[in-house]
């Protein structure tokens, strides 16, 4: 194998694999389920008017998410390489750039994701030790940006690097198998508890009463599509990379369905805990602005006003958030790590350390400036993920040789595959070009807002 010139990784070493099917599924669902489902989903649902946004998000999960997920799983499992070499494997060297954009997107997302992950870590620890601050807004202002934020970001990244260094089976899979069932139980428990609160029904009404007019605003459409990609971890090769450790006979069509519906289910349940809690405790004013801090201000306020029960429920809530954030951050770092292992022949530990430290350094900026964090999130989602999804759809729909044959290894070739190809060739690209085009003004406005018009 001449493509490992530095020879750090011994030649012919077998590729790592998931130990069990369930281990893979928990890890992939762990990647998908994260801050996107809880923090990002709830603040967008609040900002974009509730149920209309939720309905569009479900529509895009099915129409765009399912086909792109199957495309990523197919490429990854077939190529058994990280994103850059996987695209070269099926499309020729000229396609490496798309893989490089994926790795850059992962780098960008993880740089600010680690900052938010750090916030969740702090809130979980505070709930267990000193309780929620009486003035949640001021507290968030104190800890969200600056050295506090940097400190918790570094801590969060150290844990992420440690797990990824452990490898696929012993690190990532082992954590996901314990952590994900715990997260599900906590979320269902809190959603049931929230249902018992007086005034919860206003929260459900806000969350679930569909208003067609609101849903058809272009900014709602754009946000829902971006959210579908972000939440499913699509558009930058994360699912592709996890699939590269799958055995060849796994059923990628079935796994696509399991991962996507688990992810939507968790986002939906997150809404069932967040909105009733917030409305029952009269905190709706705090989220109506739909700012990045909504979850970190409105919910702690609600928990604080609940007294002792609030410490327990709130503590459990933030523990679930830490788990979700961590298993997602791991998948983002794994993209960078697998690409570095392929490209430089580095061994895993070295790639995790070098890649992780570089991302942490890039995160200093968003750790100090929340407007930079917000901007990075918009650019990453609306440009990189939506653009990356477009790239994958075109690649598998038009460039790759006989994708249906590859996708149906391990499962029966069926009508589903024909529909899949049509979606990838026409429906997904046209929809994504429309979304991309319409998101440009908003992203541009944010850039101007942060850097000034000069």
C-beta of 12: minimal distance to ligand TRP in Å? 31
Question: With respect to ligand TRP, which residue has the nearer C-beta, 39 or 346?
Answer: 39
C-beta of 21: minimal distance to ligand TRP in Å? 20
Question: With respect to ligand TRP, which residue has the nearer C-beta, 149 or 233?
Answer: 233
Q: Could you tell me which stretch among 47-55, 233-241, 409-417, 434-442 binds ligand TRP (CB under 6 A)?
A: 233-241
C-beta of 179: minimal distance to ligand TRP in Å? 14
Q: Could you tell me which stretch among 45-53, 149-157, 328-336, 347-355 binds ligand TRP (CB under 6 A)?
A: 328-336
The DSSP string of 60-92 is HIIIIIHHHHHHHHHHHHHH-S-HHHHHHHHH-
Question: With respect to ligand TRP, which residue has the nearer C-beta, 68 or 246?
Answer: 68
Applying CB under 6 A, does 227 fall inside the site for ligand TRP?
no
Q: Could you tell me if 163 and 175 are in contact, meaning their C-beta atoms sit under 8 angstroms apart? A: yes
CA neighbor of 374 nearest in space, from 289, 433, 265, 286:
289
Applying CB under 6 A, does 238 fall inside the site for ligand TRP?
yes
Size of the site for ligand TRP (CB under 6 A): 16
Applying CB under 6 A, does 236 fall inside the site for ligand TRP?
yes
The DSSP string of 378-420 is HIIIIIIIHHHHHHHHHIIIIISS-HHHHHTTTS---HHHHHH
CA neighbor of 303 nearest in space, from 331, 272, 273:
273
C-beta of 380: minimal distance to ligand TRP in Å? 8
Applying CB under 6 A, does 240 fall inside the site for ligand TRP?
no
Applying CB under 6 A, does 331 fall inside the site for ligand TRP?
yes
Give the dihedral sign, CA 440/445/450/454. Answer: positive
194: left (phi over 0), alpha (psi -120 to 50) or beta: alpha
Q: How far apart are CA 166 and CA 319, in angstroms?
A: 22
CA neighbor of 328 nearest in space, from 136, 61, 41, 126:
41
C-beta of 76: minimal distance to ligand TRP in Å? 13
Query: Of residues 90, 119, 156, 230, which one binds ligand TRP by CB under 6 A?
Result: 230
- Phi and psi at residue 6, to the nearest 5°: -75, -15
Q: Could you tell me which stretch among 125-133, 185-193, 324-332, 370-378 binds ligand TRP (CB under 6 A)?
A: 324-332
Q: How far apart are CA 66 and CA 73, in angstroms?
A: 11
Applying CB under 6 A, does 118 fall inside the site for ligand TRP?
no
Question: With respect to ligand TRP, which residue has the nearer C-beta, 32 or 103?
Answer: 32
Residues 23-52 within binding reach of ligand TRP (CB under 6 A)? 31-32, 34-37
Q: What is the dihedral of CA 311, 175, 26, 272, to 10 degrees?
A: 10
Q: Could you tell me if 302 and 283 are in contact, meaning their C-beta atoms sit under 8 angstroms apart? A: yes
C-beta of 124: minimal distance to ligand TRP in Å? 16
C-beta of 310: minimal distance to ligand TRP in Å? 25
C-beta of 43: minimal distance to ligand TRP in Å? 13
Applying CB under 6 A, does 179 fall inside the site for ligand TRP?
no
Q: Could you tell me which stretch among 4-12, 50-58, 83-91, 232-240 binds ligand TRP (CB under 6 A)?
A: 232-240
Question: Could you tell me the two tokens for 224?
Answer: 């829902």
C-beta of 327: minimal distance to ligand TRP in Å? 8
Question: With respect to ligand TRP, which residue has the nearer C-beta, 35 or 179?
Answer: 35
Residue 296 DSSP symbol: H
Question: With respect to ligand TRP, which residue has the nearer C-beta, 191 or 332?
Answer: 332
Applying CB under 6 A, does 156 fall inside the site for ligand TRP?
no
C-beta of 37: minimal distance to ligand TRP in Å? 5
Q: Could you tell me which stretch among 193-201, 229-237, 391-399, 424-432 binds ligand TRP (CB under 6 A)?
A: 229-237
Identify the helix (H) or strand (E) that includes residue 447: helix 428-451
Question: With respect to ligand TRP, which residue has the nearer C-beta, 239 or 280?
Answer: 239
Give the dihedral sign, CA 379/48/330/32. Answer: negative
Q: How far apart are CA 55 and CA 37, in angstroms?
A: 15
Q: Is 91 helix (H, G, I), strand (E, B) or coil?
A: helix
Residues 361-420 within binding reach of ligand TRP (CB under 6 A)? 385
Q: How far apart are CA 357 and CA 364, in angstroms?
A: 11
Q: Could you tell me if 351 and 192 are in contact, meaning their C-beta atoms sit under 8 angstroms apart? A: no
Query: Distance between terminal CA atoms of the chain?
Result: 51
Applying CB under 6 A, does 328 fall inside the site for ligand TRP?
yes
Question: Could you tell me the two tokens for 141?
Answer: 């202002």
Applying CB under 6 A, does 65 fall inside the site for ligand TRP?
no
Q: How far apart are CA 398 and CA 248, in angstroms?
A: 23
Q: Where does this chain bind ligand TRP (CB under 6 A)? A: 31-32, 34-37, 109, 230-231, 233, 236, 238, 328, 331-332, 385
């Amino acid at each position: 194998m001449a493509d490992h010139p530095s020879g750090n990784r011994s030649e012919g070493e077998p590729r790592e694999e998931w130990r069990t099917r369930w281990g893979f599924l928990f890890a992939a669902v762990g990647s998908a389920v994260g801050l996107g489902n809880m923090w990002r989903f709830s603040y967008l649902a609040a900002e974009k008017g509730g149920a209309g946004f939720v309905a569009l998000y479900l529509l895009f999960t099915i129409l765009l998410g399912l086909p792109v997920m199957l495309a990523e799983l197919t490429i990854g499992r077939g190529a058994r390489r990280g994103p850059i070499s996987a695209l070269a494997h099926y499309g020729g060297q000229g396609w490496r750039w798309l893989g490089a954009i994926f790795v850059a997107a992962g780098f960008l997302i993880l740089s600010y994701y680690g900052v938010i992950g750090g916030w969740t870590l702090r809130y979980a620890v505070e709930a267990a030790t000193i309780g929620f601050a009486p003035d949640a807004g001021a507290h968030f202002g104190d800890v969200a940006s600056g050295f506090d934020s940097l400190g918790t970001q570094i801590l969060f990244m150290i844990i992420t690097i440690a797990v990824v260094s452990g490898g696929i089976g012993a690190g990532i899979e082992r954590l996901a198998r314990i952590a994900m069932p715990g997260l599900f139980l906590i979320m269902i428990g809190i959603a049931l508890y929230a249902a018992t609160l007086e005034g919860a029904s206003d929260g459900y009404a806000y969350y679930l009463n569909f208003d067609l007019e609101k849903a058809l605003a272009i900014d709602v459409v754009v946000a829902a599509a971006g959210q579908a990609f972000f939440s499913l971890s699509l558009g930058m090769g994360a699912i592709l990379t996890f699939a590269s450790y799958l055995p060849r006979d796994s059923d990628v069509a079935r796994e696509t369905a399991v991962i996507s519906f688990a992810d939507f289910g968790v986002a939906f349940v997150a809404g069932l805990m967040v909105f009733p809690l917030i409305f029952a405790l009269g905190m709706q004013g705090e989220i109506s602005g739909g700012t990045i801090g909504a979850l970190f201000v409105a919910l702690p306020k609600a928990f604080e006003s609940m007294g002792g029960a609030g410490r327990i429920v709130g503590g459990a809530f933030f523990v679930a958030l830490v788990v979700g954030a961590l298993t997602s951050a791991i998948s983002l770092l794994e993209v960078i790590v697998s690409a570095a292992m392929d490209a430089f022949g580095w061994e895993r530990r070295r790639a995790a350390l070098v890649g992780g430290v570089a991302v942490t350094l890039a995160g200093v900026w968003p750790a100090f400036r929340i407007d930079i964090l917000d901007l990075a999130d918009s650019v990453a989602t609306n440009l990189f993920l939506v653009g990356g999804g477009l790239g994958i759809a075109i690649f598998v729909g038009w460039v790759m040789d006989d994708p249906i044959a590859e996708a149906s290894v391990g499962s029966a070739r069926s009508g589903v595959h024909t529909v899949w190809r049509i979606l990838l060739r026409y429906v997904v690209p046209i929809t994504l070009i429309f979304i991309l085009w319409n998101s440009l003004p908003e992203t541009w406005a944010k850039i101007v807002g942060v850097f000034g018009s000069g």
